[in-house]
Amino acid sequence: MFIDRDSSNDSGQPPDDNFARSSPSEESVKMTLTGTRRAVDRMIGLLHRHNIISGSEWSRPVPFRNSNEVISVASRAIQVD
C-alpha cells in the first residue's frame, strides 16, 4: 500500500515534517501503525478508502528486529483551535 514518493530515503526513517503551517493554530500529529506487514497494509488501505489519510502519506514499513512486525508512520497538520 505504501507509495514511495522519495526513493532516495532508503534509511527506513519516516518522512520529514515539511508542511508549511498556514496559521499558528496548526500543529503536527504523528500516527503510527504497528503489526504484521499484511495488517499494516490493510489498515493503511482502510484509512485511505475512508478518506482519513492517503496511502502515499505513510512511511515505508520498517521491520522490527526478531519479529514479524513492522512500523509505519504518517504525519499530518491539524487545527487545534
Does residue 79 form part of some domain?
Answer: no
Confidence at 81, pLDDT banded by 50, 70, 90: confident
Q: How many domains does the chain have?
A: 1
Return the pLDDT at 3.
46
Say how far apart CA 65 and CA 42 lie, in whole Å: 22
| Structural domain containing residue 45 | 1-14+28-74
Does residue 60 form part of some domain?
Answer: yes
Does residue 80 form part of some domain?
Answer: no
Say how far apart CA 12 and CA 1 lie, in whole Å: 16
Alpha helices (H) along 15-55? 37-49
Does residue 69 form part of some domain?
Answer: yes
Does residue 81 form part of some domain?
Answer: no
- Predicted TM-score (pTM) above 0.85: no
Does residue 55 form part of some domain?
Answer: yes
pLDDT tens digits, one per residue of 19-61: 555 677 899 999 999 999 999 999 999 999 999 999 999 999 9
